[in-house]
Amino acid sequence: MEVVAVVDAEPPRFLVALSSVHWRESWKYGERAYRYCQHDAGHALGSLRYAAAALGWSMQLISELSDADLSTIMGLNRVQDFHDAEPEFPNLLGLVVARPNPSRTLCVSSEAVRIVGDGSWHGQANRLSSEQVHWPWIGAMEANAVKPHTELQFRPSTGRVPQGQVPIPPPKVVGPSAVSIIRQRRSAVAMDGQTSVSLDTFMGILRRTMPEPDTVPWDAFPFPARIWLCLFVHRVDDLPPGIYALMRDPTRLEALRTDCRDDFSWTPISGTALPVYELRLGDFRQVAAHVSCTQAIAGDGAFSLGMIADFARTLKEEGAWAYRRLFWEAGLVGQVLYLEAEAAGVQATGIGCYFDDLLHLGLGLDPEEDAWQSLYHFTVGGAVHDARLTTLPAYFHLPSRRAGHRSVDGSDHPER
């Protein structure tokens, strides 16, 4: 991540850019690394938006720029300065404004891009590894999912709640601060297979994943919602275990219903205005673990889920590059789940290793078609404490910290 410019303006504002060196993940994850980098961009966007919100600031993506323009703005196209380093690819450019009103206040003209590109650049990229493993599919994606210049995607604040949805309640005045929740967030390495969550907690977590344009972090993400959640409910009080669907874009209910197996009931859940539907009741703990590469965490949480994209339609309407923005959307949903789980006193884990075709088959979706495509799994529940992990305060290693300087939240000890 880089902060690419500080603009002297009132209110103060600056640009933040995200880029990926795919090798940083592919050395470990192989082919999966390309999509993990896109997931990470979505998670990072969420982190930035929440951090800005915690300071009372707003944030917008400047989503119309092409990758070529982003490369120029970030200085990634300086061939001489990257000569033997692993290539770095642009992802996102965000505008952070030090005021809460999310109205867009900046467009980047092609003249501005040229001026930045012609500026004085300093520094050279260092090579990370002496040898590399070549993953042909990653190279193919790098070549085929390049973003062109696109129409301005900006959903201005409406100041109203979308039709059919209940207003999100105001933030709790009691409970841990956003800062402590953000700092304590960790992925659960294992789930205890026992902890349940209340129906209110479950619905509250789901509600925060709804793409309401006036809520954090969705006000920073200008693309239409194209992911629905296939929920495996294992332990939610007052909700029978089974498979449920959260339609983040309720207008796609009939299209999905037509494509899924015909013995799903599609019963709306009473007592909530959220578009949540019961599909089939039963104990799906083993199934959930199985479709998540047999990882027990997906069956041992209170619930787990697959994020399934309206895939072919999005690529047809937005172009091949939209493959990436679908993963950003999934990563952003994931970041909401991570933080909402912590706020609810449980924990979550992103699951990037899953068997997509098996999940498609189970839902009756044709694995040979690409109408619907699973992009990310997640689990939420009671974590098994992992004594191997230690959390230290940020910058603990700096001499000023060791001399006893306290952190923002007043603690000068490891948090747990």
Ligand X SMILES: Cc1cc2nc3c(=O)[nH]c(=O)nc-3n(C[C@H](O)[C@H](O)[C@H](O)COP(=O)(O)O)c2cc1C
Q: By CB under 6 A, is residue 184 in contact with ligand X?
A: no
Decide if residue 306 touches ligand X (CB under 6 A): no
Strands laid side by side in the 58-61 sheet? 2-7, 13-20, 89-97, 58-61
Closest CA to 96 of 38, 154, 50, 35: 50
The one-character DSSP state at 239 is: B
Give the SS3 label for residue 86: coil
What's the rounded Cα separation, in Å, for the pair 128 and 68? 24
Kind of pairing between the strands at 227-233 and 303-310: antiparallel
- Interacting positions 17-36 with ligand X (CB under 6 A): 36
Q: Does 350 bind ligand X (CB under 6 A)?
A: yes
Among 351, 359, 363, 375, binds ligand X (CB under 6 A): 351
- Interface map 119-138 toward ligand X (x if CB under 6 A): --------------------
By CB under 6 A, which span of 131-139, 219-227, 256-264, 350-358 interacts with ligand X?
350-358
With respect to ligand X, which residue has the nearer C-beta, 122 or 388? 388
How many residues can be counted in the chain? 416
Taking CB atoms, the residue at the shortest distance from ligand X is 352
Question: Is-contact 237 199, C-beta < 8 A?
Answer: yes
Of the ranges 199-207, 264-272, 343-351, 366-374, which one interacts with ligand X (CB under 6 A)? Answer: 343-351
Q: Verify binding: residue 299, ligand X, rule CB under 6 A.
A: no
Q: Is 394 in the site for ligand X (CB under 6 A)?
A: no
According to the binding rule CB under 6 A, does residue 187 interact with ligand X?
A: yes
Q: How far is Cα 271 from Cα 229, in angstroms, rounded to an integer?
A: 19
Among 13, 22, 39, 285, binds ligand X (CB under 6 A): 39
The answer to whether residue 352 forms part of the interface with ligand X (CB under 6 A) is: yes
Tell me how far apart the alpha carbons of residues 333 and 43 are, in angstroms, rounded to a whole number: 8
CB of 46 to ligand X, least distance (A): 11
Q: Is 78 in the site for ligand X (CB under 6 A)?
A: no
Encoded tokens for 407: 């952190």
DSSP state, residue 190: S
Number of residues that bind ligand X (CB under 6 A): 13
Q: Is residue 374 part of the contact set for ligand X (CB under 6 A)?
A: no
Interior angle at CA 242, CA 247 and CA 296, nearest 5 = 100
Q: Least distance (Å) from ligand X to the CB of residue 43? A: 6
Integer Cα distance of 186 and 337 in angstroms: 12
CB-nearer residue toward ligand X: 297 or 365: 297
* Footprint on this chain of ligand X (rule: CB under 6 A): 36, 39-40, 43, 186-187, 295, 297, 349-353
